[in-house]
Amino acid sequence: MGLAVTLSAVALYSGYTIVQMRGLRRLQTQSIDRNRTDSLLLLRIQNNLNSLALAMRDMLDADEPYPLTAWQGQFRRIRVDLEDAMRREQALGPAGRTADQNRYLAASVAQFWDALDRVFALAASGNEGEARTRIRLSLQARQAALSTAVSRLLVQNNESEEHAALETQQIYAGVERNVYLLFGALLIVVALSSVSVVQYNRRMFDQVAALSERRSELAQQLISMQENTFRYISRELHDEFGQILTAVGAMLQRMERRSSAADSTMKTGLREVSGIVQSTLEKVRTLSQALHPVVLDEAGLESALDSYLPNFEKRTGIKVHYEKTGEIGAMDKQVAIHLYRVLQEALNNVARHSQSAQADVRLRFAPGSVVLEVEDEGIGFRGRGDTPGMGLVSMRERAELVNGRVEFLDGEGGGALIRLTVQMSL
**What is the rounded CA–CA span in Å between residue 322 and residue 309?**
8
| Overall average pLDDT of the 29-33 stretch | 67
User: What letter represents residue 60's amino acid?
Assistant: L
Residue 309 forms part of a structural domain:
yes
Residue 253 forms part of a structural domain:
no
* Among the listed residues 169, 35, 181, 14, the one whose alpha carbon sits nearest the alpha carbon of residue 97: 35
Q: Which comes out higher in pLDDT, residue 94 or 141? A: 141
Residue 249 forms part of a structural domain:
no
pLDDT tens for each residue of 269-288: 777 787 887 888 777 777 77
User: Which CATH number covers residue 395?
Assistant: 3.30.565.10
If pLDDT is split at 50, 70 and 90, which confidence band does 47 have?
very high
SS (H, E, C) the chain: CHHHHHHHHHHHHHHHHHHHHHHHHHHHHHHHHHHHHHHHHHHHHHHHHHHHHHHHHHHHCCCCCCCHHHHHHHHHHHHHHHHHHHHHHHHCCCCCCCHHHHHHHHHHHHHHHHHHHHHHHHHHCCCHHHHHHHHHHHHHHHHHHHHHHHHHHHHHHHHHHHHHHHHHHHHHHHHHHHHHHHHHHHHHHHHHHHHHHHHHHHHHHHHHHHHHHHHHHHHHHHHHHHHHHHHHHHHHHHHHHHHHHHHHHHHHHHHHHHCCCCCHHHHHHHHHHHHHHHHHHHHHHHHHHHHCCHHHHHHCHHHHHHHHHHHHHHHHCCEEEEEEECCCCCCCHHHHHHHHHHHHHHHHHHHHHHCCCEEEEEEEEECCEEEEEEEECCCCCHHHCCCCCHHHHHHHHHHHHCCEEEEEEECCCCCEEEEEEEECCC
On the question of pLDDT at 387 being above 70, the answer is no
On the question of pLDDT at 27 being above 70, the answer is no
pLDDT > 70 in the chain, percent: 89
Q: By the 8 A CB rule, do 380 and 415 touch?
A: yes
Distance of CA 192 to the CA centre of its chain: 22
**What is the rounded CA–CA span in Å between residue 274 and residue 400?**
47
pTM metric for this prediction: 0.48
| pLDDT value of residue 269 | 76
Residue 366 forms part of a structural domain:
yes
On the question of pLDDT at 17 being above 80, the answer is no
Residue 248 forms part of a structural domain:
no
- Answer yes or no: do 298 and 151 share one domain: no
C-alpha atoms less than 13 angstroms from C-alpha of 54 in its C-beta half-sphere: 8
**What is the rounded CA–CA span in Å between residue 29 and residue 10?**
28
Region of poorest pLDDT, from 60-69, 123-132, 385-394: 385-394
If pLDDT is split at 50, 70 and 90, which confidence band does 62 have?
low
On the question of pLDDT at 10 being above 70, the answer is yes
Strands 369-376 and 358-366: antiparallel
pLDDT tens for each residue of 215-256: 777 777 777 787 778 777 877 776 777 778 777 777 877 777
CB atoms within 10 A of CB 262: 8
pLDDT > 90 in the chain, percent: 8
**What is the rounded CA–CA span in Å between residue 324 and residue 314?**
21
- Answer yes or no: do 43 and 169 share one domain: yes
- Answer yes or no: do 36 and 154 share one domain: yes
**What is the rounded CA–CA span in Å between residue 420 and residue 382?**
20
If pLDDT is split at 50, 70 and 90, which confidence band does 384 have?
low
- Answer yes or no: do 39 and 176 share one domain: yes
| pLDDT value of residue 167 | 79
Domain end point (choices 135, 157, 192): 192
- Answer yes or no: do 303 and 169 share one domain: no
Residue 369 forms part of a structural domain:
yes
Residue 277 forms part of a structural domain:
no
- Answer yes or no: do 157 and 10 share one domain: yes
Domain end point (choices 142, 177, 192): 192
User: Which CATH number covers residue 90?
Assistant: 1.20.120
C-alpha distances out from residue 78 to 8, 20, 75, 106, 111, Å? 62, 44, 5, 16, 16
Contacts of range 272-275, beta carbons closer than 8 Å, 24 or more positions apart: 274/249
**What is the rounded CA–CA span in Å between residue 230 and residue 221?**
14
| pLDDT value of residue 31 | 67
CB atoms within 10 A of CB 341: 18
| pLDDT value of residue 50 | 92
On the question of pLDDT at 54 being above 80, the answer is yes
If pLDDT is split at 50, 70 and 90, which confidence band does 396 have?
confident
Q: By the 8 A CB rule, do 417 and 373 touch?
A: yes
Counting the structural domains of the chain, the total is 2
On the question of pLDDT at 424 being above 80, the answer is no
| pLDDT value of residue 403 | 84
CA dihedral 49, 55, 61, 64 (to 10 degrees): 170
- Answer yes or no: do 157 and 25 share one domain: yes
Average pLDDT, the chain: 81
| Overall average pLDDT of the 410-423 stretch | 84
| pLDDT value of residue 80 | 93
Q: Which comes out higher in pLDDT, residue 66 or 126? A: 126
- Answer yes or no: do 29 and 174 share one domain: yes
**What is the rounded CA–CA span in Å between residue 405 and residue 420?**
6
| Domain range enclosing 303 | 294-423
* Among the listed residues 345, 353, 349, the one whose alpha carbon sits nearest the alpha carbon of residue 396: 345
- Answer yes or no: do 164 and 50 share one domain: yes
Q: Tell me the range of 113-117, 124-128, 336-340, 375-379 where mean pLDDT is highest.
A: 113-117
Domain end point (choices 145, 177, 192): 192
